[in-house]
Structure 1
Amino acid sequence: MRLMLAYAATLFMASSLEGHACSITTPCIVDDRNYYVALPKPANLPAPAIVYIHGWGGNGQAALRNKDMTTMFLERGFAVIAPDGVPREGRSGRSWGFHPQSGRQLDEIDFLRSVKEDAIARFNLDSTRMILAGFSIGGSMTAYTACLAPMSFAGYAPLGGNFWRPHPTQCEGAVHMLHTHGWSDGTVPLEGRVVNGVPMDDPSAFAQGDIFHAMSIWRATNNCTQMKADKFSMKEPFWRRSWTHCDAGSSLELAIYPGGHSIPKTWPSLVVDWFEAIISE
């Protein structure tokens, strides 16, 4: 009940702030595309923010209807910004040009950066405390943004998705990254899978990447001193491995939870705790 009341109050506040024509229900328009926003209490402005990228077939407005996620971020003082992907041809819902073969990666990254700058200007947000996060292929879009344009956001938090095959051979610069994944995820397994039904060695295979290999790419990108993690935590519900002996201004963490392809209720708290810890160092 408390969560529902808090969420209802948030919806009213986000949709009634004077001078803001867009909200959790009315889109902000940038580059002929939409994003939606839920804001914390005005007294806490300029606020940090999380730009959250929806998964396959979703949209920004629907993403903000995840009360567990949105309310928890708001209660921690974070604005939640949810952009729309592009329409899926011949199908409902939206997607992202995350894959290297899509030819749209840089356009998508430009859009996400435009969303960030527009939201900063409209809502008095803190440009130095903005996280890019996403679920499933939204997680993959998060990872490719971090790889190709690392300075775009202060931290990156993909959930249930990272690189696809062929994996990148290198990224443009070091980042703060927290990757979270379900131990029993069958939609995006930790090892990845082919999604178009052909053998892995077929040149036409459209295949998800290996999360552990992605971690090795990020270790190399961040110039971490060793393969083994520097810190371990087994506090439920997340088992965490952290690489901290890396280039200044970078860090890497892998968090595993006992579940499948889903957004854990406590994932927002994990992200905020992680981000607040790295920016306080």
Structure 2
Amino acid sequence: MAALTLLLGAEAAVAACGTDEAACEVDLGVYHAQVPEGDIKGAILYLHGFGGSGEGALGPRDWVNTALARGYVLIAPDGLPIAEGRGRGWSFVPGRPERRDEHAFLRSVRDDAAARFGFDADEMILSGFSIGGSMTSYMACEAPKSFAAYAPVAGGFWRPHPTACSGPVRLLHTHGWTDGTVPLEGRVLRGGDATNPEALMQGDIFYTLRMWREVNACNQLRADRFVTQGPFMRRAWDRCAEGSALEFALFPGGHVVPSGWADMMLDWYESL
């Protein structure tokens, strides 16, 4: 009876909001949602890339179908409008004015979605693509206890890099070997070249990994495990702070969410 009540409650919530026609609203913004058929196993809060939207992020694609089939509710909030006709983004770049308290917004989406769709807020993964991956990384650094695990794709810190984070995390970073939009070494977006401290520059993913090793108190520089499965070459650090987890997955591609990512990421998360 309790299971039936939960299912009916989730169906009513879906009817009320989360569809293309009616986004769910919280104080600082809106989000979209897709709910799997059958039992709910967990949830992924997914942040779109530059110029995207929550609705667009949940369009038909490989990782969306995989996650739904595995029983995960998908939550995709809208970033802030960038400029007319340029879509949306996230307010996280160091030294730039804060346009919204993104941490408060994402936590409010987490709690509202958990109440609406009937899952445990403590079992939500935060993920994102490109600048959504960057926003994911900053949330993991500055408020690591906000989500159960973090899974950025093709996005990390920007320059100037953080010099410290708040505590250990469970994090899997995925990146394309030939990514030219967010290269592994970063790139200058405007303001001259890398010698100009005022230039707007993406960060170095290798520096990001060093930061995570320090944050997680990993006692060795080199990885403890190397796993090649499908297109992914993974490095894992195991001798780290209790309860933490750190892996890096490279794939032979560019600036995309690669095929097979959802299965790999969820296998990682469920094994923690």
Question: Smaller-chain TM-score range?
Answer: over 0.9
In structure 1, the residue matched to 2:34 is: 38
Give the corresponding residue for 2:18. Answer: 23
Q: Structure 1 residue 102: deviation in Å?
A: 2.7
* 1:85-118 C-alpha deviation (Å, 9 max, x unpaired): 0001233310000212234287011100000000
Matched residue of 1:44: which SS?
coil
Note the C-alpha offset of 1:271: 1.0
2:192 counterpart of 1:192: no
Structure 1 residue 265 corresponds to structure 2 residue 263? no
Counterpart-to-counterpart distance in 2, 1:142 and 1:192: 17
Q: Classify the secondary structure of the residue corresponding to 2:128.
A: strand
Q: Which runs of 5+ in 2 are unaligned?
A: 1-6
> 1:119 corresponds to which residue?
113
Residue 80 of structure 2 is aligned to residue 83 of structure 1: no
Contact 1:99 1:105 in 2 (8 A): no
Question: Match for residue 99 of structure 1?
Answer: 93
**CA distance, structure 2, for counterparts of residue 227 and residue 113 of structure 1:** 33
Please give the secondary structure, in 2, of the residue aligned with 1:100: coil
Aligned to 1:166, what secondary structure does the other structure show?
coil
Give the deviation of 1:196 after TM superposition: 0.8
Number of aligned positions between the proteins = 262
More displaced stretch, 25-34 vs 249-258: 25-34
Match of 1:10 in 2: none
Match of residue 221, structure 1, among 188, 199, 215: 215
CA distance in structure 2 between the partners assigned to 1:167 and 1:33 by the alignment? 28
Q: Distance in 1 between matches of 2:228 and 2:63?
A: 23
Question: CA-to-partner distance for each residue in 1:56-75, whole Å, 9 max, x for gaps?
Answer: 00000000004212111001
What is the aligned partner in structure 1 of residue 233 from structure 2?
239
Q: Secondary structure at the match of 2:267?
A: helix
RMSD: 1.6
The amino acid across from 2:264 in the alignment is L
Contact 1:224/1:246 (<8 A) preserved: yes
For residue 169 of structure 2, the aligned residue among 172, 175, 182 is: 175
- Calculate the TM-score normalised by the size of structure 1: 0.90
Give the drift of 1:176. 0.2
Name 1:131's counterpart in structure 2.
Answer: 125
Query: Is 2:44–2:73's contact at 8 Å kept on the other side of the alignment?
Result: yes
Q: Amino acid of the residue matched to residue 265 of structure 1?
A: S
2:164 aligned counterpart, secondary structure: coil
Contact kept in structure 1, 2:19 and 2:33, CA below 8 Å: yes
Q: Tell me, which stretches of 5 or more residues in structure 1 are unaligned?
A: 1-12
Contact 1:24 1:64 in 2 (8 A): no
SS at 2:231 equivalent = coil
1:262 is paired with a residue whose SS is coil
Q: Report if the CA contact (8 A) 2:124-2:148 is conserved.
A: yes
TM-score (norm 2): 0.92
1:204-224 deviation per Cα after TM superposition (whole angstroms, max 9, x unaligned): 211111111100000000000
